[in-house]
Amino acid sequence: MTPVLDVQDLTVYYGKRRALEGVSLTVGRGEIVTLLGANGAGKSTTLRAVSGLVRPERGRIVYEGRDITQAPADAIVAAGVGHVPEGREIFPEFTVLENLLVGGHTVRRSQVGERVDAAFELFPVLGRRQSQLAGTLSGGEQQMLAIGRALMPRPRLLLLDEPSLGLAPLLSREIFRVIQRINDSGVAVLLVEQNARRALALAARGYVLETGRLVVAGPSAALAADPRVRTAYLGLDRARGGAAG
Ligand code: ATP
């Protein structure tokens, strides 16, 4: 079956600095795939390239069979790719509702109401705070708003960049539960996460980036058992053995 996302041989530079080299990965329809790696490995750059925010030097990005490598970012959103950037990037001076409406600016007017209701159904706290300025929300609520906003155009692929970053464990668990729910509704997810343990528990497959190159790829269970992943990302001592969990 055609993957929802097919990235081939992606190379990205920032000026003279190479951030990605020859990265190839796929996300299947309705699949959750995680992208792991240390700070600066190129995870965010991969997501940015897919959503058209940085232009690759080389390579090809195909979404639902369509080449989007050179497509403008707004066309990629309209095609069905949602992106929740690291740090959320909500509009702090806008209300919760206004932030959702910005996310839904491409949505047909007759459908905006039901999309907003769907966001409030997924995140009831946002419904209760819909008139509140987004900048006054807690970190967890801002993350929920960023996800709700990205879902407004009903993407079929959601790119999530470190959704649990800086969140207390309880909220972080809540965010992971919501990602599962979003995926249950048929949305494929490419998840960048510092919490490799949680990410591998949620994802079917994963890729590991090191300084811009893919070094390991495979089903989550195989990655969780891989000595390189265990020591570097799961904080487990390979000499001690035992199950990764
Ligand atoms: P982090 O978890 O820290 O966000 P990452 O794996 O997402 O890390 P990227 O943000 O993709 O990594 O960065 C990859 C490389 O590109 C790093 O060396 C980074 O310093 C560099 N880089 C990222 N953004 C820019 C930019 N706008 N200009 C120049 N260099 C950049």
What CATH number does the domain containing 211 carry?
Answer: 3.40.50.300
Residue 245's pLDDT is 38
Q: What pTM, to 2 d.p., does this model score?
A: 0.93
Work out the mean pLDDT of the chain and round it to a whole number: 92
Residue 242's pLDDT is 45
Q: Which of 154, 173, 208 is the last residue of a domain?
A: 154
For ligand 1, the distance from its centroid to the CA atom of residue 45, given in whole angstroms, is 6
Residue 243's pLDDT is 45
- Asked whether residue 203 is domain-assigned, the answer is yes
Q: Token pair 């309880």 is at which residue?
A: 170
Ligand 1 atom nearest 44 alpha carbon: 7
Query: Considering only CA atoms, which residue is closest to atom 9 of ligand 1?
Result: 42
Whether 241 and 165 map to the same domain: the answer is yes
Residue 236's pLDDT is 67
Give 157's DSSP letter.
Answer: E
Residue 227's pLDDT is 87
Q: Which of 154, 181, 208 is the last residue of a domain?
A: 154
For ligand 1, the distance from its centroid to the CA atom of residue 229, given in whole angstroms, is 21
Residue 237's pLDDT is 56
Whether 103 and 162 map to the same domain: the answer is no
User: With contact defined as beta carbons under 8 Å apart, do 63 and 4 qualify?
Assistant: yes
- Asked whether residue 239 is domain-assigned, the answer is yes
Residue 97's pLDDT is 97
- Asked whether residue 85 is domain-assigned, the answer is no
For ligand 1, the distance from its centroid to the CA atom of residue 186, given in whole angstroms, is 30
Ligand 1 atom nearest 54 alpha carbon: 27
Whether 98 and 148 map to the same domain: the answer is yes
The parent domain of residue 149 ranges over: 90-154
Residue 229 CA: distances (Å) to CA of 3, 22, 39, 209, 236? 25, 21, 15, 11, 9
Ligand 1 atom nearest 37 alpha carbon: 6
139's enclosing H/E stretch is helix 139-151
Which parts of the chain sit beneath pLDDT 70? 236-245
- Asked whether residue 69 is domain-assigned, the answer is yes
Q: Which residues' Cβ are closer than 6 Å to ligand 1?
A: 14, 17, 19, 37, 39-45, 86
Whether 143 and 165 map to the same domain: the answer is no
Q: Which of 115, 131, 154 is the last residue of a domain?
A: 154
CA-CA-CA-CA torsion sign (155, 198, 207, 166): positive
Q: Among 52, 50, 20, which residue's Cα sits nearest to residue 37?
A: 20
Number of domains in the chain: 2
Whether 163 and 203 map to the same domain: the answer is yes
Exposure class string for 116-148: b at 16+ Cβ within 10 A, else e: bebbbebbebbbebbeeebeebeebbbbbbbbb
* Contact residues for 239 (Cβ-Cβ < 8 A; gap 6+): none
Residue 178 CA: distances (Å) to CA of 34, 100, 116, 192? 16, 17, 16, 15
Exposure class string for 179-200: b at 16+ Cβ within 10 A, else e: beebbeeebbbbbbbbbbebbb
